Amino acid sequence: MAPSRVAIYPGSFDPLTLGHVDIIERGSALFDSIIVAVLRNVEKSPLFTVDERLEMIRDTFRERGNVEADSFSGLLVDYASSRKATTIVRGIRAISDFEYEFQMALMNRRLAPAIETVFMMPAEEYSYVSSRLVKEVASLGGNVSGLLPEDVEKRLLERVRRKPMEG
């Protein structure tokens, strides 16, 4: 039997958007399994804790047997090796994503030549969606329906109502 093809989809997912969901679904169709890996990044000040973000991902993909949510810190390639993943999945929204993603992919290749990075494009309607923008709009009272899974939208609205974003 061929070894199973495991992909890692890393990010902050603060919170999960339908853009992320789109990429995860494409990845889940392409690979035997896909691990959505939440980066434990001490520098950023997130709106949701890592555990809350993991819970939202798990709830959203309850019925997809080959989608797993996990968290990691340190080098992505070390985490990928520890999970026996052969592929890193990233989403590309616009040219603006390209430069940073290109640098990261080549640096990761240098660190771990056996791990391949694969880029996927979301459906057009999600090609401008980012967690940051969705949080900003929600905190200013704008309508974000259709951009997030329903449960995530509920939690986001609760959170920004209780804790308006600063700045």
Ligand X SMILES: Nc1ncnc2c1ncn2[C@@H]1O[C@H](COP(=O)(O)OP(=O)(O)OP(=O)(O)O)[C@@H](O)[C@H]1O
**93 contributes a contact to ligand X by CB under 6 A:** yes
**136 contributes a contact to ligand X by CB under 6 A:** no
Nearest CB to ligand X, comparing residues 102 and 150:
102
Q: Is 154 a catalytic residue?
A: no
Q: Which element (helix H / strand E) includes 63?
A: none
Q: Which residues pair with 91 in a beta bridge?
A: 120
Q: Is 93 a catalytic residue?
A: yes
**50 contributes a contact to ligand X by CB under 6 A:** no
**26 contributes a contact to ligand X by CB under 6 A:** no
- With CA atoms as reference, report the closest residue to 138 among 55, 11, 17, 38: 17
CA distance 57 to 6: 18
- With CA atoms as reference, report the closest residue to 38 among 60, 55, 59, 19: 55
Q: Which of 131, 135, 139, 159 is catalytic?
A: 131
- Which tokens hold the place of 37? 């890996």
Nearest CB to ligand X, comparing residues 66 and 117:
117
Nearest CB to ligand X, comparing residues 60 and 131:
131
